[in-house]
Amino acid sequence: MTATPSFRFRRLRRTQVLRDLTRQTYLSANDFILPLFIEEQITSAVAIESMPGVNRIPEGELAKRVQQVWSNGVKAIILFGVSHNKDDSGSDSWDEHGLLARCIKIAKAAVPEMLVISDNCFCEYTDHGHCGVISENDVDNDATLENLQKQVISCARAGVDMIAPSGMMDGMIASIRQALDTAGFSHIPVMSYSSKFASAFYGPFREAVDSNFKGTRNTYQQDPANGREALAESMQDEAEGADILMVKPGLAYLDVIADIRAHSALPLAVYQVSGEYAMIKAAAAAGVIDEKAIVLETMIAFKRAGCDLIITYYAEDLVQWISRDY
């Protein structure tokens, strides 16, 4: 007896044109944001061993690097300072002459059209490496919010285009919005790291920013086991006035992306973090995967899950790779 399928999905897979016509998800150069690590007091770039192809850039070379990124077709960058002026509160991060403010000014002067985003946190500027002020062996939420208000005003005065707080303090979006609006920066959008997990995938980043940090961030970042809480965190940030929401890390959290997409009309970003990048690089170097195909498929998965924006160390490669097929 001949078995006859009740429906034939393969009818629309027969030719490339049919497949293109029925394709649901695309990548574009407009999707990507490139993270840059900028270190003060160094004179030449330092390779980050666990992230092949990614360097810590000397402050003195930032302008040239921003021009290069722009000419490579990437239109948005997010800046991370690697500080040599650390203290217990991370005060360099809100100093108008501090590293973060200087980097913003350098980047905007180099390419005024470049969308310059600041990663707004304290871990790169504190001597203990935590994402805020410590009291009684834990990060003090509300004391950190006050410093965060100072930090974002300093960034706005330096000319930043978008604020991106990553410290996972409760109430951070409302505090930032109030500070920006009061200081005359009501036009500056806030992209919240709204659902950020306490993840082992950040391992190589710790090397990248030379963090002295030992321990965990489990009292402020989310438990990877909690999907409903991740949705609640992002919904809270939307209610506080976030303009863009974010899930971080990416590939292990596609369910969280889809859940937030189903509950919010805001643009949604994903951060493909250092460990995700390092794993692909290591597998490619071992000759066991096709790097380009794996990266493109991963990016498509982020967009299919519901993301609009992708923060990735592959941003420059991606704009070269994407063709009409992606």
Given 121, 164, 244, 295, the residue binding ligand PBG (CB under 6 A): 121
CA pair distance 245, 52, nearest whole angstrom: 29
> What single-letter amino acid sits at 8?
R
By Cβ distance, which residue is nearest to ligand PBG? 205
CA pair distance 191, 267, nearest whole angstrom: 9
Q: Give how many residues touch ligand PBG by CB under 6 A.
A: 11
Helix axes 62-71, 99-110, angle to 10 degrees: 40
Q: How far is the CB of 104 from ligand PBG (least distance, A)?
A: 17
Given 119, 237, 238, 259, the residue binding ligand PBG (CB under 6 A): 119
| 248 classed as catalytic | yes
Given 166, 192, 195, 264, the residue binding ligand PBG (CB under 6 A): 166
x/- mask, ligand PBG, residues 8-37, rule CB under 6 A, reads ------------------------------
Where b means 16+ CB within 10 Å and e means fewer, 187-225 reads: ebebbbbbbbbebebbebbbebbbbebeeebeebbbebe
Measure Cα distances from 92 to 19, 61, 95, 99, 299 in Å.
Answer: 53, 20, 5, 7, 35
| 75 classed as catalytic | no
Pairing of strands 115-120, 46-47: unpaired
Region of 18-26, 97-105, 116-124, 174-182 interacting with ligand PBG (CB under 6 A): 116-124
Active-site annotation holder among 196, 281, 292, 303 = 196
Given 65, 128, 130, 217, the residue binding ligand PBG (CB under 6 A): 217
Active-site positions read: 196, 248
